[in-house]
Amino acid sequence: MAKKDGGLRFQPSGGSRAPQVPVGKKLKLAIERLANDGRGIGFSEGRTWFVSGALAGEQVEARVLGAHGKVVEARVERVLSASAERRNEACPHAKICGGCSLQHMPHADQLALKQRMLAEQFSRLAALEPREWAAPLVGPELAYRRRARIAVRWDNKTKTLEVGFRAAASQAIIGITDCPVLVQPLQPILRDLPQLLRGLDKPQAIGHVELFSGNCSAVLVRHTAALSEADLARLQAFCTAHAAQLWLHGSAEPQPVDPTQPLSYRLEAYTLDLAYRPGDFIQVNQPVNDAMIAQALDWLAPQADERVLDLFCGLGNFALPLAQRVRELVAVEGVQTMVERAALNAQNNGLGNVQVYQADLANPLADAQWAQGGFTAALLDPPRDGALQVVRQMAALGVQRVLYVSCNPATLARDSAELLAQGYQLERAGILDMFPQTAHVEAMALFVRK
C-alpha cells in the first residue's frame, strides 16, 4: 500500500516561483544607469541586473555571478556597443582582479559618482545638505597604494604555489606581476615574489604575504608551520636585495627579524614620524592622507588655547598634527595596543601635551576622568560602523566644532542626523578620493553648534 502524504502544500502567492538564473549564464543587456557602487544596471524578464564593468548607455553581454530573488549580479563578458566615456584599463587584469572595479571609467566620472553617493546618503538618511560642498580631495590616479596583501595558496594536486590577488567575486587567485596602483618601491618586490616563494623548501607553509612602504619597505610573511633555516635565509636575502625589512608572522604577533629597524611613515609637513607594525591601521594613500590632514586642520581651525578631543585616534595620524596647534590634545582609542603606539609616537616626537586613553567608544564618555572639563572641538575618524554612541555625547562634552572623517557615507549620514538633533549644523562636506579606481567613498564633514 502506497504511503499517504499527509503534508500540506501551498503555492506561493503570485503564482509559481520563477526559476533561478544559473551562475555562468550569459545574456545581452542594455545598461540604463549606474548604481552607487559603479556597477551598471539593466533589466530583463522582471529582474534587475547589476553588472560590474559596464557603463550607462552600453550594450553588453553579461555573465551571471550569482542571483537571489529578482536581483542578478553579473560582470561584463563583452562590450557590444561601448559608451563614448569608456577608456582602456591601465591594468590588463582589471576585468577579473578584485582590487579595482572602475578602471574603465574616467577619473572625473569616478569622482562624480562618489560625490553623488555621498549627497544621496545625506539626503536619504538625514534630509540634509551641507551649506558648502568642498571640492574632492584627490591624489594620483595610479601608483598610490603603499600597502598590499598578496594571496598565496598551495595546490596539493598540481604541487604548485599560486601567488597573486583574489579575483572579483571568487576565491581564485590571479597571478599578477605588475600592479599599476601600487607605489613604485613595492613593484619590484611584487614582481620577484612568486619566484622566491615557489623556490622555498616548504612553500605550502606560506599563508599570505603583505607588503608595506613607508620610510622603508617591509615584507611580512605569514607562515602556518615553522620555516627551515634555509628558507629563512632565502627570505632574508630577498629582502636585503630589495632594501626591505623582513617580518615573520607565525602563531604569535608579527615580529621583525631585525628589531633594531623601525617601521614608520613620515608626515613631512609637520616633521613627524609615526611608528607602526604590520596589522596596525594606516591610510593606504600617502598623498591623500597628507592632504586630508591639512584639510582637517584648516576646517577644524584649532586654536592655541583650546583643549581638543580626537576619538578613534589610532596611531596618532590626526592627533599629533593637532597637538602642535593646541594647548591640550586628548586622544582616545578602543584598542589598547594602539593606545600604547599612539602614546609612544607622541613621546618620540616630543609632544608633551598629548594624553592618550583607552575606552570603549560604544559606551558613554561623560563620566570618564579625562572627559572632565569638556572640549571646544573634536575630531572623529571611526571605522565603517560609524560613531553613533559617541556623537550622541558631543553637546554634553561642550564641543562646539566636530570634524567627522568617514569611510562609510551611510553611517556618516546616520550620525549626522544625531548631531543635527543636538543643535549642530553641517557647514561643509566633501569626498576624499583615498581609493582611486574603486567605488569606495571616504568623506569629511564639519559640524558647528549653533
- pLDDT (tens digit, 0 to 9) for every residue of the chain, 450 residues total? 444 444 443 444 445 566 788 999 999 999 999 999 999 999 998 999 999 999 999 999 999 999 999 999 999 999 999 999 999 999 999 988 888 999 999 999 999 999 999 999 999 999 999 999 999 999 999 999 999 999 999 999 999 999 999 988 788 999 988 999 999 999 999 999 999 999 999 999 999 999 999 999 999 999 999 999 999 999 999 999 999 999 999 999 999 999 998 899 999 999 999 999 998 999 999 999 999 999 999 999 999 999 999 999 999 999 999 999 999 999 999 999 999 999 999 999 999 999 999 999 988 887 889 999 899 999 999 999 999 999 999 999 999 999 999 999 999 999 999 999 999 999 999 999 999 999 999 999 999 998
Q: How far is Cα 323 from Cα 348, in angstroms, rounded to an integer?
A: 14
> Are 239 and 205 contacting, i.e. CB atoms less than 8 angstroms apart?
no
> Are 342 and 365 contacting, i.e. CB atoms less than 8 angstroms apart?
no
Provide the grid cell at 103.
578602471
What is the reported pLDDT for 115? 97
Give, in degrees to the nearest 5, the angle at Cα 71 between 67 and 72. Answer: 50
> Are 422 and 395 contacting, i.e. CB atoms less than 8 angstroms apart?
yes
> Are 298 and 316 contacting, i.e. CB atoms less than 8 angstroms apart?
no
List the strands of the sheet with 401-406, edge to edge.
132-133, 424-432, 442-449, 401-406, 377-380, 307-311, 328-333, 354-358
> Are 377 and 394 contacting, i.e. CB atoms less than 8 angstroms apart?
no
Our answer to whether residue 313 is catalytic in this structure is no
The residue assigned the cell 582611486 is 436
What is the reported pLDDT for 2? 44
The residue assigned the cell 578613534 is 312
What is the reported pLDDT for 168? 83
Q: How far is Cα 450 from Cα 440, in angstroms, rounded to an integer?
A: 32
What is the reported pLDDT for 350? 98
What is the reported pLDDT for 170? 81
What is the reported pLDDT for 18? 60
What is the reported pLDDT for 5? 44
Q: Which residue spans within 54-182 are E strands per DSSP?
A: 59-68, 71-81, 132-133, 147-155, 160-166, 173-174
Torsion of CA 39, 43, 49, 50, to 10 degrees: 10
- The active-site residue, picked from 97, 179, 239, 407, is 407
What is the reported pLDDT for 3? 43
Provide the grid cell at 223.
607562515
Q: For residue 347, which of 331, 360, 369 has the smallest C-alpha distance?
A: 331
Provide the grid cell at 348.
618620540
What is the reported pLDDT for 19? 73
Q: How far is Cα 133 from Cα 233, in angstroms, rounded to an integer?
A: 54
**Domains with residue ranges and CATH for the chain:** 23-86 (2.40.50.140), 112-140+285-449 (3.40.50.150), 147-256 (2.40.50.1070)
Q: How far is Cα 241 from Cα 210, in angstroms, rounded to an integer?
A: 17
Give me the residues paired with residue 430 across strands: 444
What is the reported pLDDT for 9? 39
> Are 292 and 268 contacting, i.e. CB atoms less than 8 angstroms apart?
no
pTM, two decimals, is 0.92
What is the reported pLDDT for 345? 98
> Are 207 and 162 contacting, i.e. CB atoms less than 8 angstroms apart?
no
Torsion of CA 434, 435, 437, 442, to 10 degrees: -70
- The CA R_g of the chain, rounded to the nearest whole Å, is 25
Q: How far is Cα 253 from Cα 266, in angstroms, rounded to an integer?
A: 24
For residue 17, what are the CA distances in angstroms to 8, 27, 73, 391?
A: 18, 21, 19, 46
